[in-house]
Amino acid sequence: MGIPSHTRIILITDEQDHSREYGITRPMVMSLLVLALVVLVVMGLLMFSFAGKHDERQQIARLENEVADARIAVQKVGLLKEELLFLQGFQEKLLYILGVQDAPSVNADSLSAWLQRAPGSSAEALSRSAAMSLSPSPGRWPANGFVTKEFEKGAVNRGIKPHGGIDIAGSTDSPILAAGPGRVVRTGTEDFLGNFVEIQHGLGYLTVYGHCSRIAVGLNDRVDAGQVIAYVGKSGQATAPHLHFEVYVQGEAIDPRQILEGDPPTN
């Protein structure tokens, strides 16, 4: 049954002689129905929006908790990183002393190459480290002759130039001997030293032999104390034949006389 075009509503009170009459047209009924529908839709949208906001608030709370946990994890990672860096530095120093792997360069002008070839296995590394750590430090004069220039740390502010080793004058092609047992870690030619040899010894010792006329050993050769490794010359910045001999201990240049007794033999 459709909506009538005109509806009359009569309100009768308890008193029979009083009554009120209202008329409602079809458009008014339609408007009321539409209004009620709009109200229902708006209420539904508001309830849906409220439910979505509630979910968002819960998600935001979860995200805030996750961010707090992440910050704690980052702090822990930072502490672990610091510990790892400390352990890495300690390991590098230990391996540097034992001669197991490449060590940091001695200084900006150093020729040190230490170990250019990493051990192929743990057994080789253990054998190499044991041999290098137990071998004695260099302690013999590397050539016969006379000391013509001593070691000098230098003082730039006072105009004193450093001299990183001892010069031993000798005749051309006289033998140069290894100052101690070790391994040849570098050979080559350099502007100042000319032809040179570097030998790594145990306990972080490194010896350098410069101005050689020719070299008698190769890279990674094992040498004994007193073994001929090169011959005296005047290559590089040298005006007369002599040996320039340097000693490093754990990366620091020292006066070779700290490990050598007396003076070099002269015959």
Whether residue 250 is predicted with pLDDT greater than 70 in this model: the reply is yes
The whole-number average pLDDT for the span 21-45 is 77
How far is the CA of 247 from the CAs of 9, 101, 198, 229, in angstroms? 120, 20, 10, 16
Average pLDDT over residues 227-253: 94
Give me the pLDDT at residue 28, please: 76
According to CATH, the topology of domain 122-258 is: Glucose Permease (Domain IIA) (2.70.70)
Q: Check pLDDT > 60 for residue 106.
A: no
Least confident of 2-11, 88-97, 155-164, 224-233: 88-97
- Percent of all residues in the chain with a pLDDT value above 70, rounded to a whole number: 69
DSSP string, the chain: -PPPSEEEEEEE-SSTT-EEEEEEEHHHHHHHHHHHHHHHHHHHHHHHHHHHHHHHHHHHHHHHHHHHHHHHHHHHHHHHHHHHHHHHHHHHHHHHHHTSSPPPPSSTT------SS--SSHHHHHHHHHHHHHSPPP-S-SSSSEEEE--B--BGGGTBPPB-SEEEE--TT-EEE-SSSEEEEEEEEETTTEEEEEEE-GGGEEEEEEEEEEE---TT-EE-TT-EEEEEB--SS-SS-EEEEEEEETTEEE-GGGT--S-----
Q: Is the pLDDT of residue 135 over 50?
A: yes
Q: What is the pLDDT of residue 93?
A: 58
Residue 17 above 70 pLDDT?
Answer: no
Residue 128 above 60 pLDDT? no
Does the pLDDT at position 141 exceed 80? yes
Lowest mean pLDDT among 34-48, 142-156, 194-208, 226-240: 34-48
- pLDDT value of position 260: 93
Instruction: Indicate the pTM of the whole model.
Output: 0.53
What is the pLDDT at residue 136?
67
Weakest mean pLDDT among 28-42, 121-135, 182-196, 219-233: 121-135
Q: What is the pLDDT of residues 83-105, one digit of tens each?
A: 766 666 666 556 555 554 444 43
Q: How far is CA 35 from the centre of its chain?
A: 73
Does residue 37 or residue 246 have the better pLDDT? 246
Q: With bands split at pLDDT 50, 70 and 90, how would you rate the model's confidence at 10? A: low
Q: What pLDDT band is residue 143 in, cutting at 50, 70 and 90?
A: very high
Q: Average the pLDDT over 202-226 and give the result.
A: 93
Q: Which residue has the higher pLDDT, 165 or 66?
A: 165
User: Whole-angstrom Cα distance, residue 70 to residue 64?
Assistant: 10
Supply the pLDDT for residue 120. 58
The pLDDT, as a whole number, for residue 126 is 53
